[in-house]
Amino acid sequence: MTDTEFRWFDDYFNLYRDAVFNTDIYDNLIMVKDLWMTAHTEGKKVMFCGNGGSAAIASHCAVDLSKNAGIRAVNFNEASLITCLANDFGYENWMAKAIDLYADAGDVLVLVSSSGNSKNIVNCALAAKSKGVSLVSFTGFDKSNTLNNIDGINFWVDSMAYNVVEMTHNIWLLSVIDKIIGKAEYSA
């Protein structure tokens, strides 16, 4: 590896280091853990939504929260659900309609969005708030994004790089799941 390539990777991983290891978020991570535990104790569920890479993060976290932590969680990434609701209500409203169909007061909604400005995500947040659903959001890019300014537990990654934002969201979310489990290493 040349010095130039080595420096590129060093600079690249410093972006992650700076984003992930933000001790200012620890209080919020603990609040999310408590919110998920309360929902579980009260027989409620945790729902996850995202677009693209954020949808993959939502799916991963919903499965791990259910399977590994024993807390009922769902995500809305089923192709037939998305295409049905988008066809009937418009792409900008399909997630809000999913919340209308599946959410109950006291549930928790986790929205993952790099920009925090996707219309379907913002509409979903507003629909959830109107149903008495607690909101947790993970965004990046511009701190003044719409989702980051909707009342809830809001996380923001100070980066303009999609991969840095998305992987930081994934690490933060999985850290809460591992905290609930009580350890970072366990068999599947």
Closest CA to 22 of 160, 175, 157: 157
Q: What is the model's pLDDT at position 23?
A: 86
Residue 91 has pLDDT above 90, yes or no: yes
**What is the pTM for the complete model shown?**
0.95
Helices and strands (DSSP H and E) totals, the chain: 7, 5
Q: Identify the three-state secondary structure at position 110.
A: strand
Is 48 part of any domain? yes
Task: Give the domain CATH number at 135.
Answer: 3.40.50.10490
Is 10 part of any domain? yes
Residue 185 banded pLDDT, cuts 50, 70, 90: confident
Neighbouring C-alpha atoms within 13 Å toward the C-beta of 94: 19
Is 187 part of any domain? no
Count the neighbouring beta carbons within 10 Å of the beta carbon of residue 167. 19
Do 68 and 181 touch, CB atoms closer than 8 A? yes
Is 33 part of any domain? yes
Range of the domain at 133: 3-181
Query: How many domains does the chain fold into?
Result: 1
Q: Identify the three-state secondary structure at position 15.
A: helix
Is 156 part of any domain? yes
Is 24 part of any domain? yes
Is 188 part of any domain? no
Is 81 part of any domain? yes
Say how far apart CA 172 and CA 169 lie, in whole Å. Answer: 5
Average pLDDT of the chain, as a whole number: 96
